[in-house]
Structure 1
Amino acid sequence: MTENPEPLQGSAEPVPATEPAEAGKPVRVGRGRIAAIAGSALLAVLVLGGVGYTVVTVNGADRDAGAPVWTFPKAAAEKKAAPATGLRGMLRPYDYAYTQGPDIAEFGADAQLTGREATALRKEEFSGLPRAERLALEEQIDQEQIKGIAMRSYLYAASSDINAYTVEVQLAQMDEKAARNIVRDENELLDAVTLFRKGPTVPGHKEALCFLPKQEAGEKLDTMLCFANEGDVLITLDASGTKAMDKKGVAAFLREQLDRIKTTGEAV
């Protein structure tokens, strides 16, 4: 598997941002807008948590999903491997606090994709859209020039199961302007819809924003979505647990991840 295939080129203009909503009014987001932004941030590699959750929530806000169930996840057996390099080497390493977490879809708990693999998977996710919409999104994907994706799952195993939570991190190296635009658009979308509220700040990284679902009476589960970029690396973080989840601890985790990318240097 080659880590850095040549960037893919495209000519489409980025999908324009929606107009700011009037204060106090809920935002209605069109299907095409949601697909474009969600596809960018999630990179269509992981149809779970993260922005996948955003899309399902926004599109199905009027449907009862039933009572949520939180099952304490079992950490996957850790395997000894050679030290990671490049983009994968930028991921926060496992330690005594954050051990290897559950598998991320079919990719396992720790994986890397080349730019060509990630691009192909993204386009495959949009195969069911109308042709004109699909082609526009495919051209936008090409324009982002994805060079590679690295992902890792973590388990914070607290002394009590109720305080435990999982964290999934995805790093995507791409055109730097595209990474900035995705972070801006995703944060604007989640800040605008009434289904989300702002989460804790990330110390030392004011541009990184985190969001939590709207508080619901009797809800026992919680999730936290964060988006940021460090140069040409887009960071997507999805933490899941109970209401007792240490949200400031997750924000501190993201700070460590961002600092590591900065100090590790540009992926090669």
Structure 2
Amino acid sequence: MSDSTETLQSDPSSGTSRRLLRAGGATVAAALVGVGIGVGIVEVRFDDTATTATAATAAAVTSPSPAASTTPFGAKSNGNHFGSLRDLLLPMPDGYGPGPDDGNYGNDAELTADQLSAEIDDDLVPVPKEQQDKLRRFWEDLHVKAAGVRTYRNQTVVLGIRLHQFNQQEVQKMNEYTAVFAGDTGLFRLGPAVPGHPEAHCYLMPAPPSAPIDRMECSAAEGDLLVVLTAEGVAPLPKDKIVNLLTQQLDRLARPGASA
């Protein structure tokens, strides 16, 4: 076994693993914002020239509480999900164990809108005042409900899946924006397709051919959930297995009802 493989296995709290789990979309954000924005939806899209969401978007229709169901979680026909995000997250697959902690939240958690907002406030401290105001307005217009996170690992790869729940129109826009940015800038390597899920896209981080560790990010929109998968491991990454896990996660979220 290579030294890089041993490092990945033996140190679940390594800086590399922590960065992996906190950085879904962070590469895109770094290019757009020019500063580290920490965790949360703001990582995925922000453009200095972009206006805040329109009143129509901000006032997106919300659905009534779901009626009694045999399943405590799932997706309605309109795309809104109900139940705990921890239930909606992909259960631990065979051959994987819990991964490293995601920041202060452990490796299996649901974050409330208040928790996420507090993190955004902390991360904005070093940002110029004018940009702080824009980012906060952007955040407020998203109508963030919650975020769920679960981490996974095997002998060669560490993965994190985040579910960000907020305004459906903005979920779609963010996913499309990330796809265009990652594909058109030439900064990233094109990742594999996700069969059955044309809305999903994957891309790999810049790396020299001889790099021992590689990293891939995937993003997909499923109703009011933005799904972000991050994977890091010994090169070459097992892309087919990573795509299979993402497919399982997206199938679990499919409307009109998520599978148990």
> TM tier, shorter chain?
0.5 to 0.7
Q: Distance in 2 between matches of 1:254 and 1:31?
A: 24
| Structure-2 residue corresponding to 1:190 | 182
Q: Is the 8 A contact 1:41 1:236 kept in 2?
A: no
Shift of 1:35: 5.6
| Structure-1 residue corresponding to 2:244 | 252
Q: Is the 8 A contact 2:144 2:166 kept in 1?
A: yes
Percent identity between the aligned chains? 28
Shift of 1:236: 0.8
| Structure-1 residue corresponding to 2:14 | none
| Structure-1 residue corresponding to 2:33 | 34
User: Could you tell me the TM-score, scaled by structure 1's length?
Assistant: 0.66
| Structure-2 residue corresponding to 1:206 | 198
1:156–1:31 distance in 2 versus 1, CA, 3 Å: closer
Residue 134 of structure 2, aligned match among 133, 136, 142: 136
| Structure-1 residue corresponding to 2:125 | 127
Q: Distance in 2 between matches of 1:147 and 1:251?
A: 27
Q: Which runs of 5+ in 2 are unaligned?
A: 1-27, 45-71, 74-82
Q: Distance in 1 between matches of 2:30 and 2:98?
A: 36
| Structure-2 residue corresponding to 1:87 | 85
Shift of 1:130: 0.9
Give 3-state SS (helix, strand or coil) of 1:189's partner: helix
Q: Is the 8 A contact 1:227 1:237 kept in 2?
A: yes
Deviations 1:7-59 (CA, angstroms, capped at 9, x unpaired):
xxxxxxxxxxxxxxxxxxxxxx99783369x85984368xxxxx6xxxxxxxx
| Structure-2 residue corresponding to 1:22 | none
1:36-185 correspondence runs (5 A): 42-43=40-41, 85-157=83-155, 164-185=156-177
| Structure-2 residue corresponding to 1:229 | 221
Q: Distance in 2 between matches of 1:135 and 1:149?
A: 22
Q: Is the 8 A contact 1:203 1:252 kept in 2?
A: no
1:264–1:116 distance in 2 versus 1, CA, 3 Å: farther
Q: Is the 8 A contact 2:40 2:116 kept in 1?
A: no
Q: Is the 8 A contact 2:88 2:252 kept in 1?
A: yes
Is 1:217 aligned to residue 209 of structure 2? yes
Q: Distance in 2 between matches of 1:253 and 1:264?
A: 21
Residue identity in the other structure for 2:112: T
Q: Is the 8 A contact 1:220 1:243 kept in 2?
A: yes
What is the alpha-carbon root mean square deviation over aligned residues?
A: 2.9
Residue identity in the other structure for 1:219: A
Give 3-state SS (helix, strand or coil) of 2:254's partner: helix
Give 3-state SS (helix, strand or coil) of 2:94's partner: coil
Q: Is the 8 A contact 1:32 1:133 kept in 2?
A: no
Q: Which runs of 5+ in 1 are unaligned?
A: 1-28, 46-50, 52-82, 158-163
Q: Distance in 2 between matches of 1:207 and 1:39?
A: 25
Residue identity in the other structure for 1:140: F
More divergent stretch after superposition (186-195 vs 167-176): 186-195
Q: Distance in 2 between matches of 1:143 and 1:127?
A: 20
| Structure-1 residue corresponding to 2:21 | none
1:172–1:264 distance in 2 versus 1, CA, 3 Å: farther
Q: Distance in 1 between matches of 2:224 and 2:90?
A: 17
1:178–1:40 distance in 2 versus 1, CA, 3 Å: farther
